[in-house]
């Protein structure tokens, strides 16, 4: 009998601050409808001075470790495109903050927004090899674009932690996957830049072309027929991209699409992304969290996942919701994560955005701003310092 493997638990975290798009619109002079309706965004999470991908990752993962313990966690995979070091994996700091066992492998994965899915699939392979083990997969990112650029309104930050296990309590991941890779310069961030570069329309086109590619490969691998899926989770660089992708997938595969049903279905997956902003690797899994937290009973229903990372790599796969999953959801906790953020004005946001770390190797402590459980305490001798708040 084949052991089922998938997502046993899921938890997310975000930042201390939030910038409402009404505040951004007041500065840019853009009609608020362009943000609320055009791209489907209402606010974006902004990190405090003492927050980053590590503090968010540890905060997201801590409830999972508290609930299930760490004895079976043999691997931590951290996916990010907001890396803090060219050599040391950010997950090692998380491992330390969570006091995980030393008998653990820790690695960092990078491929734009797709890397979280790479982490999930690699974790699946490890658990299939040894079903007694569990893998902690964390997707954590802060999306930053130049001030007053076209991409500025899609910024955001979040981390999603997933415990991958045999006999999962939430989602059984199905074995078939559709894959696609092509060399596209639609979005990138050279090592010498702190903000990303993006060719907006080219990125949308590359996403849709990759979606066609993964669906074709998925069907060739013996995947489910499209109409069987009860819900769809898409990568959401902005929430309206899910609508564009869903319409494109159905139209190019010759399936009828009821617009009202599509809107109702996708609305369940966008609730978190529209107020947190683009979280890169975490985005599609925030869509999953939103679906599970806001839909009715999805027991035994198949869910489609369409993961995309610029540059580009994409994957399409399915998962089935496990009976009893409702008992394991963190809906109240997730809502509290969103609501605890403190609203800031545009001047404060620009000050935070313009912050850069000293490069002189001196001792530089970071002012305390976060009320979260972990904080980035500063730099000393070019070493990053983290602590419990």
Q: 45, 213 in Cβ contact below 8 A?
A: no
202 is catalytic: no
Q: Active site residue: 21, 235, 248, 334, which one?
A: 235
Which of 113, 180, 312, 334 is labelled catalytic? 113
Rounded CA-CA distance 332/106 in Å is 30
Largest CA distance in the chain: 62
- Specify whether the CB–CB gap between 127 and 134 falls below 8 A: yes
Any catalytic annotation for residue 388? no
Residues in contact with 95: Cβ distance below 8 Å, sequence separation at least 6, in sequence order: 76, 104, 106
Whole-angstrom Cα distance, residue 317 to residue 175? 8
DSSP tag of 341: P
Catalytic option among 16, 23, 81, 108: 81
Cβ–Cβ under 8 Å, residues 237 and 249: no
DSSP percent split of the chain into helix, strand, coil, nearest 5? 40, 25, 35
DSSP class of residue 113? Answer: B
Residues 374, 377, 378, 381: what is their CA dihedral angle, to the nearest 10 degrees?
-100
List 113's β-bridge partners, or say none: 111
Question: How far is 57 from 351, CA to CA, in rounded Å?
Answer: 24
Question: Tokens at residue 241, please?
Answer: 């991209």
CB 137 within 8 A of CB 61: no
Active site residue 113: yes
CB atoms within 10 A of CB 382: 12
Question: For the chain, how far is it from start to end, CA to CA, in angstroms?
Answer: 47
Burial 74-110 (b: 16+ CB within 10 A, else e): bbbbbbbbbbbeeeebbbbbbbebbebeeeeebebbe
Point out the residues that are catalytic.
Answer: 81, 113, 235
């Amino acid at each position: 009998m084949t052991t089922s493997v998938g997502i046993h638990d899921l938890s997310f975290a975000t930042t201390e601050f939030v910038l409402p798009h009404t505040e951004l619109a007041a500065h840019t002079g853009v009609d608020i409808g362009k943000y609320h309706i055009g791209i489907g965004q209402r606010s974006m999470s902004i990190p405090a001075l003492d927050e980053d991908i590590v503090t968010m990752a540890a905060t997201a993962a801590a409830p999972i470790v508290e609930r299930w313990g760490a004895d079976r966690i043999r691997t931590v995979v951290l996916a990010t495109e907001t890396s803090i070091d060219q050599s040391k994996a950010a997950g090692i700091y998380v491992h330390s903050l969570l006091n995980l066992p030393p008998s653990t492998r820790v690695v960092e994965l990078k491929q734009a927004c797709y890397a979280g899915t790479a982490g999930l699939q690699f974790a699946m392979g490890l658990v299939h090899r040894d079903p007694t083990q569990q893998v902690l997969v964390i997707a954590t990112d802060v999306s930053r674009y130049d001030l007053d650029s076209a991409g500025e309104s899609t910024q955001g930050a979040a981390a999603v932690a997933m415990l991958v296990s045999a006999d999962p309590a939430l989602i059984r991941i199905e074995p078939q996957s559709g894959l696609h890779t092509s060399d596209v310069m639609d979005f990138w961030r050279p090592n010498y830049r702190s903000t990303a570069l993006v060719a907006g329309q080219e990125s949308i086109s590359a996403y849709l072309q990759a979606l066609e590619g993964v669906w074709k490969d998925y069907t060739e691998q013996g995947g489910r027929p499209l109409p069987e899926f009860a819900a769809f989770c898409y990568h959401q660089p902005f929430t309206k991209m899910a609508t564009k992708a869903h319409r494109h997938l159905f139209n190019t595969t010759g399936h009828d699409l009821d617009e009202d049903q599509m809107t109702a279905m996708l609305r369940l997956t966008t609730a978190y992304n529209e107020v947190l902003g683009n979280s890169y690797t975490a985005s599609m899994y925030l869509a999953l969290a939103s679906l599970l937290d806001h839909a009715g009973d999805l027991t035994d229903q198949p869910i489609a996942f369409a993961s995309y990372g610029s540059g580009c790599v994409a994957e399409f796969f399915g998962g089935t919701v496990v009976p009893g999953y409702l008992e394991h959801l963190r809906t109240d906790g997730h809502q509290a994560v969103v609501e605890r953020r403190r609203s800031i004005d545009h001047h404060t946001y620009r000050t935070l955005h313009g912050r850069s770390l000293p490069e002189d190797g001196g001792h530089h402590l970071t002012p305390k701003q976060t009320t979260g459980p972990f904080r980035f305490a500063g730099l000393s001798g070019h070493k990053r310092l983290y602590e419990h708040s």
